[in-house]
Amino acid sequence: MFLSRHLRLLPRASIARSLGSSGAHYTTAASSNAAPAEEDSPFEIPNRIERTPTDILQALAGTVGRDHTAPHYKFHDDPFLIPMSNAAKRTYAMSKESGRKAAKWIKEEHRELFLHQEAQPAVEKFAPSMVYTENSEVDESSLQQLIAQSEVKDAVLVYNLLEQKGSPISADLKQSLLELVCFHNNQEPLPEEYIEERWFIQNNRRRDRHGKTWKDGDLAEKLYAEIEPKTPQAYASLIRGMAKYLQCERAYALLQEAGEKQIQLDTNTFNSIIEIVSYLKDTAEQRWQLCTELLQEMSQQKLRPNLGTLNAVLQCISTFGNFKLARSSALQVLPEFKQLGVNPSLGTYYYLLIIFCRERGPVSHVIVDILNDIAGKEFQIEHPKDTYFFATAMDVCRNHLNDKSLAKKVDELLHTGKNYDLVGDSFKESVYYRNYLALLCQTESIEDFMLTYDLLVPNIYIPEPGIMEEILRAIEINNAVEHVPRIWSDMVVFDHTHRESLLLSVLRIMVDNKPNAELPAQQQLPEQCAKVALDMYERVEEAMKRLRKVSFTGQMLGNILTLLVRGGNFEKASEVFAHIDKNQHRIPGTPAESALHEYVEASVQEKSPSQALAALQYAVENNMESSALAKLIHEGFTLNETHLAKLKTLVGESFLDK
């Protein structure tokens, strides 16, 4: 359905092109058949193009983009099941995955029920996994299989069983087990199929950066000790494992040992050591020296540096506190690697950004050159740090340069081809959009900004309270009160109604920008604003009873009062005023005088003198300017005896004589 619509919308030439790129040989065959008379040249059968089984699917998928009006496809397309806040997005996706885990647990627990084989050929993932115990019959082949499936725990168990039985294990197998154990630090990794857990995992940066997690004296080192004579591969895997889990000193010592024994290591091992140079040396000069030494050693061993080397060197440079040294060395490194034919990945650009665009450093426009270089290119993941680029680039656009057009360029690059796959995880994605929206609402006109807002919110990104505040500020600056009802309903949905600062700014915008009733676009506004105010009043009252997180202030209530009066809802307004009057000892602050003034004016119109006098009494009791109110009441009503007497006691006899 979508495909056909898509095709209809395209001009003819581009249909041929788009089909030509996906299913070339069919199209060419058809078009040459259609016009045989014109061509005298003999029919040429085009060469067969090799296709993979998923090519058609990918070509079809290429015609569909992300639908901004629908939630992500992992959620169910039903109003009840569509998540409406960041917390809900996370909870729903994780609960679905937890249901998956429950099903998997059932499968493993009642394995005898799931031994049937329907699929041809059998799909391994649907069958329960093998269970290895102390008594299982194992041999080398089962160990080999487990290593291929990277089942760390089972592989180690089987290895221990084989050891106990004293059966020989080939050197190759031992090496691959060592590699597996080193790679995962002898811990079971998070299974591949749990993509949501990966997407929402909080990247614990502190643990990432500091602290060794390498298990000293564990299986990896035992395996390494068993391998005699030491092979370069054994050295390489142990060094890389230690470097990955930040056992830095010993990794470096092993590298030196290997160097002394004239053992030829590979490039990636050197890369892993270059990555941890910052843990080995303290000052920038020492780090740079060690880095160059390592690189020279590599060139002596005739090792060709690769992308990993480039990124590792840049990572080392990015830890320099000395800005000038970092800049000059980065500029030194880049052309050298270019000469070597190493193509930079997004990770490289990420490091360049954090090297050049520092908070306290001078302003650098390196991102302009980077974007000129890579605009319109499609990237694939080549290095673990590739996913950091987009969030950092947007951060630079907002905080370093505050440049709208650059941000748009970054966004365009993100939506080129399959680049969106490189956005990282949910945290990085939200950082990206946070910076993007904050930048746009500061720099763009409110109408243009609202277009982007409509596109992104709520299905792709839900603003955090901080960003909401920025948006409200932009609305306040632009006097765009007409957007407030919409933003308020979003705030209600996103559960931002417990933030006092947000409530205050919503009220302030609506009170300060009195709608002009003559403009047709704003005719509905007073009423809508009154609705928002009433909604807010009820919500806060509710929240006060339950959560006690927020409470009214006099000013807030005064603003609500004003809006209700303006919206013509006098009944509710007097209810709100009764609340103010009754709880005046509990509510900090008083309503603005203008609020009372407007309320009294409205009560004059509604011909309810007792409400007006209550307002006056409140004003007198709270030492506010009362003569203007009294005058208003005196002139507005023809008061009866009791009311007149009350007025007299409040403002004194002298006032009436004037």
Contact residues for another protein (CB under 8 A)? 76, 78-81, 83, 88, 91-93, 95-100, 102-104, 106-107, 114, 117-119, 122-123, 126
Nearest approach in angstroms of CB 486 to another protein is: 24
Tell the smallest beta-carbon distance from residue 430 to another protein (Å).
20
Q: Give the residue with the Cβ less far from another protein, 63 or 91.
A: 91
199, two tokens: 């997407």
Which residue, 110 or 304, has its beta carbon nearer to another protein? 110
CA distance 462 to 286: 45
Tell me if 97 sits within 8 A of 194, measured CB to CB. yes
| Nearest distance from C-beta of residue 131 to another protein, angstroms | 16
Q: Please, which residue, 117 or 380, has the CB nearer to another protein?
A: 117
**For residues 3 and 102, which CB has a smaller minimum distance to another protein in the complex?**
102
The closest alpha carbon to 475, from 492, 491, 498, belongs to 491
Shortest reach from residue 387's CB to another protein, in Å: 26
CB of residue 80 to another protein, shortest distance in Å: 4
- What six digits make up the tokens of 467? 């960003």
- Cβ at position 256, least distance to another protein in Å: 50
Nearer to another protein, 68 or 76 (CB): 76
Residue 645 corresponds to which amino acid? A
> In which residue are the tokens 């030491």 written?
230
Rank residues 127 and 504 by Cβ distance to another protein and give the closer one. Answer: 127
In angstroms, give the least distance from the CB of 71 to another protein.
12
> Quick one: 596 exposed, middle or buried, by C-beta within 10 A (0-12, 13-18, 19+)?
buried
DSSP secondary structure, 15-72, as one string? HHHHHHHHHHHHHHHHHHHH-TTT--SPP-PPPPPP--TTHHHHHHHHT----TTS--
Q: How far is the CB of 130 from another protein (least distance, A)?
A: 16
For another protein, the closer CB: 91 or 144: 91
- CB burial of 166-197 (b: ≥16 within 10 Å; e: otherwise) equals eeeeeeebbbbbbbbbbbbbbeeeeeeebebe
| Phi, then psi, of 115 in degrees rounded to 5 | -90, -5
Question: What's the closest the beta carbon of residue 125 comes to another protein, in angstroms?
Answer: 9
Nearer to another protein, 101 or 377 (CB): 101
Residue 97 or 275 having the CB closest to another protein? 97
Question: Phi and psi for 331 in degrees, rounded to 5?
Answer: -70, -25
DSSP codes joined into one string, 256-298 = HHHHHTT----HHHHHHHHHTHHHH--SHHHHHHHHHHHHHHH
96 vs 486, beta carbon nearer another protein = 96
Closest CA to 496 of 137, 176, 20, 86: 86
Taken in order 62, 67, 68, 71, is the CA torsion positive or negative? negative
Smallest separation (angstroms) from another protein to the CB of 496: 20
Token pair for 33? 């058949």
Minimum distance of another protein from residue 50's CB (angstroms): 23
Cα dist. 335→9, 309, 338, 341, 436 in Å? 46, 14, 5, 10, 32
**Nearest alpha-carbon partner for 44 in 29, 34, 26, 30:** 29
Question: How far is the C-alpha of 354 from the C-alpha of 348, rounded, in Å?
Answer: 10
Distance CA 325, CA 355 (A): 10
CA distance linking residue 158 with residue 169, whole number of Å: 11
Q: 114 or 420: whose CB is closer to another protein? A: 114
